[in-house]
């Protein structure tokens, strides 16, 4: 994904879970946890971290049972990831966001409706791939997470089949998180 520049006053920028647009954050505590495989995930961050380890169900379970999102992320970062993870991480996040949406559709529909056509931007001082950094009078970064939310928003509006989580199963290897052939 290429870097883009965004004007802060023209976007739905999110950084903190309790601030405006916090529902888009992967750290937002899900009112209805996401069920994937035999586990329940309290945040989409925990589900994403577990998706990194399709061949290590014990690690997936530790992540699912972590007491906090930060602990889940720490577990996910403390194990070597698959060699091909970077090639599939965007599709894995697509699946994660659809799982998050499906378990919390009413709330997320309301938030997506309020965005109108404005760009959705994860404001991150540390991660210019998933988010965009505040630099001067703009946000600059790939904003992969925000762009995936905008993609999902459009797919939902068009009733496109790719808006469903099952459209992504098989495109990423998820281990026990999904029923794969």
The listed CATH number (3.40.50.10470, 1.10.357.40, 3.40.50.720, 3.90.800.10) that belongs to domain 4-171: 1.10.357.40
Residue 124 tokens read as 């991150």
Six token digits for residue 90: 């965007």
The β-bridge relationship of strands 120-122 and 12-14 is: parallel
What confidence tier does 83 reach under pLDDT thresholds 50, 70, 90?
confident
Q: Domain ranges in the chain?
A: 4-171
Whether 181 shows a pLDDT value over 50: the answer reads no
Q: What is the DSSP string of the chain?
A: ---EEE-GGGSEEE-STTSTTGGGSTTSPPSSPEEETTEEESSHHHHHHHHT-TT-HHHHHHHHH-SSHHHHHHHHHSSPPPTTHHHHHHHHHHHHHHHHHHHSHHHHHHHHHHHTTPPEEEB-SS-TTTSBEEETTEEEE--HHHHHHHHHHHHHHTT-GGGSGGGTBTTB--GGGS---
In whole angstroms, give the CA distance from residue 114 to residue 92. 26
**pLDDT recorded at residue 171:** 84
Is the per-residue pLDDT at 11 higher than 60? yes
Does pLDDT of 121 surpass 90?
Answer: yes
Average pLDDT over residues 48-60: 94
Dihedral (CA of 43, 47, 49, 50) sign: positive
Confidence of residue 138 (pLDDT cuts 50, 70, 90): very high
């Amino acid at each position: 994904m290429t870097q883009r520049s965004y004007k802060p006053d023209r976007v739905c920028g999110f950084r903190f879970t309790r601030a405006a647009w916090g529902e888009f954050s992967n750290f937002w505590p899900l009112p209805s946890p996401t069920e994937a495989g035999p586990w329940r995930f309290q945040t989409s961050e925990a589900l994403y971290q577990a998706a990194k380890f399709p061949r290590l169900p014990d690690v997936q379970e530790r992540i699912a049972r972590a007491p906090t999102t930060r602990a889940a992320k720490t577990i996910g970062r403390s194990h070597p990831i698959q060699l091909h993870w970077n090639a599939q991480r965007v599709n894995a996040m697509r699946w994660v966001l659809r799982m998050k949406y499906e378990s919390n559709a009413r709330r997320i529909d309301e938030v997506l409706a309020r965005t109108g056509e404005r760009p959705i931007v994860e404001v991150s001082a540390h991660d210019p791939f998933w988010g965009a950094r505040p630099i001067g009078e703009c946000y600059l970064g790939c904003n992969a997470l925000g762009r995936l939310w905008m993609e999902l928003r459009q797919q939902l509006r068009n009733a496109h089949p790719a808006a469903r989580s099952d459209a992504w199963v098989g495109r990423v290897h998820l281990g026990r998180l999904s029923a794969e052939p």
